[in-house]
Amino acid sequence: MGGSIIGWGSHLPELVVTNADFAARLDTSDEWITERTGIRERRMGGLTSTMAIAAAKVAIDRAGIAPEEIDTLIVATTTPDQAIPATSSVIHAALGLRGGAFDLNAACAGFAYALVTADGLLRSGQRCVLVIGSDTLSSVTDQEDRSTAVLFGDGAAAVVIKADDSDHFLLAYDLGVDGTLAPVLYQDHGGYIHMDGREVFRRAVRAEVDSITTVLDHAGLSAADIALFVPHQANIRIIEAVNQRVGFDLAHTAVILDRTGNTSAASIPLALVEAADSGRLRPGDRVLMSGFGAGMTWASAIIEWGVSA
Ligand code: UT7
């Protein structure tokens, strides 16, 4: 049982917040933020649901399907609009969907978790799954705290996955979580994100390297077989450290964090959608996505790109 991503789309809020904007009101500088993270600007505003709806409409249009053809909607998010109901309910209604829908919280690894879940649904007989990653981390970040405020942004991206007769889609995956590391990155109800940045950095590099090594091994592939690496977009130094250890190079890596900051569950699909929109993906290309985040969670997935851009 195979499938393809037949539609993709993204949405970013209009408000651009540059490093200079932060430097004007916090004890930070463009130089510090750029050198330590690679981030130059990020987008802020909107709701997780409204951004997700906008991204999904583009993806559904591109797929050329009717919304009723979608069997299940999975929304990867850590910042739902409300505690109850799930944000996927709101999105489901706005898009006029018919099948089931649920939120999935695996933080910045959420999109890769959702892709693996979608693959399972296709294997159990569903024909079409809509997967969205959408997060508004700016709404849970203390904009006066320089150690977190400069890192996060808002955004959403979506893909439509359709079953087909090929035997390709998800070639291999690895999902993980280490709950003993929950204290390194958390948000209390109603509060702001707290993060031990240095510890997250260290753990993230280790988790991603192990996870990528595992999926390559499961798929029987090597780094050279991967046409595009789409990592979670948290920090260019994390991406470079992982690349160096795994054997990827930046020419084969999708990077958007300079323009978006860390958008949590939206970060991998935003980078994937940009790569697809710019014609970087060709049928048969193997794409490796890998994310890590609060939990600590991690997830890696290798898919085969199946349609012409
Ligand atoms: O999606 C997963 C979530 N998070 C991440 O992936 C983040 C992972 N961690 C990181 O990306 C990096 O650890 C940070 C970007 C958060 C920090 O970079 P770092 O190189 O690890 O810096 P640091 O935490 O060791 O801090 C170095 C210094 C500190 O000052 P002292 O103690 O050396 O005097 C910080 O107070 O930089 C200071 N600092 C800042 N200075 C200017 C922290 N934030 C800022 C800032 N501007 N915005």
**Mean pLDDT of the 100-113 span:** 98
Please confirm, yes or no, whether 19 is among the known catalytic residues: no
Percent of the chain with pLDDT over 90: 97
For ligand 1, is residue 226 a contact (CB within 6 Å)? no
pLDDT at position 295 over 50: yes
For ligand 1, is residue 36 a contact (CB within 6 Å)? yes
Q: Band of the pLDDT at 308, cuts 50, 70, 90?
A: low
Q: How far is CA 144 from CA 22, 26, 117, 149, in A?
A: 9, 7, 37, 7
Task: Output the pLDDT for position 165.
Answer: 86
**Mean pLDDT of the 206-223 span:** 98
Q: Which domains does the chain have, with CATH numbers?
A: 2-164 (3.40.47.10), 170-304 (3.40.47.10)
Task: Output the pLDDT for position 309.
Answer: 45
pLDDT at position 156 over 90: yes
Q: For residue 203, how far is its CA from the centre of ligand 1 (angstroms)?
A: 15
Angle of CA points 32, 246, 304, to nearest 5°: 110
Task: Output the pLDDT for position 168.
Answer: 84
pLDDT at position 279 over 80: yes
> What is the 3-class SS of the chain, one letter each residue?
CEEEEEEEEEECCCEEEEHHHHHCCCCCCHHHHHHHHCCCEEEECCCHHHHHHHHHHHHHHHHCCCHHHCCEEEEECCCCCCCCCCHHHHHHHHHCCCCEEEEECCHHHHHHHHHHHHHHHHHCCCCEEEEEEEEEHHHHCCCCCHHHHCCECEEEEEEEEEEECCCCCEEEEEEEECHHHHHHEEECCCCCEEECHHHHHHHHHHHHHHHHHHHHHHHCCCHHHCCEEEECCCCHHHHHHHHHHHCCCHHHECCCHHHHCECHHHHHHHHHHHHHHCCCCCCCCEEEEEEEECCCEEEEEEEECCCCC
For ligand 1, is residue 197 a contact (CB within 6 Å)? yes
Please confirm, yes or no, whether 105 is among the known catalytic residues: no
Please confirm, yes or no, whether 235 is among the known catalytic residues: no
Query: What span, in angstroms and rounded, lies between the C-alpha atoms of 294 and 121?
Result: 25
Q: For residue 198, how far is its CA from the centre of ligand 1 (angstroms)?
A: 7
Tens of pLDDT, residues 234-265 = 999 999 999 999 999 999 999 999 999 999 99
**Mean pLDDT of the 128-135 span:** 98
Residue labelled with tokens 């004007």: 24
Type of residue at 302: I
What Rg, from alpha-carbon coordinates, does the chain have? Answer: 18
For ligand 1, is residue 262 a contact (CB within 6 Å)? yes
**Mean pLDDT of the 275-288 span:** 96
The torsion of the CA quartet 272, 273, 275, 277, rounded to 10 degrees, works out to 170
161 CA to centre of own chain? 16
**Mean pLDDT of the 69-88 span:** 98
Query: What span, in angstroms and rounded, lies between the C-alpha atoms of 21 and 109?
Result: 29
Q: Band of the pLDDT at 166, cuts 50, 70, 90?
A: confident
Query: What span, in angstroms and rounded, lies between the C-alpha atoms of 88 and 104?
Result: 9
Percent of the chain with pLDDT over 70: 99
pLDDT at position 268 over 80: yes
Tens of pLDDT, residues 30-77 = 999 999 999 999 999 999 999 999 999 999 999 999 999 999 999 999
Mutation to probe ligand 1, out of 77, 193, 198 (largest number of atoms < 8 A from CB): 198
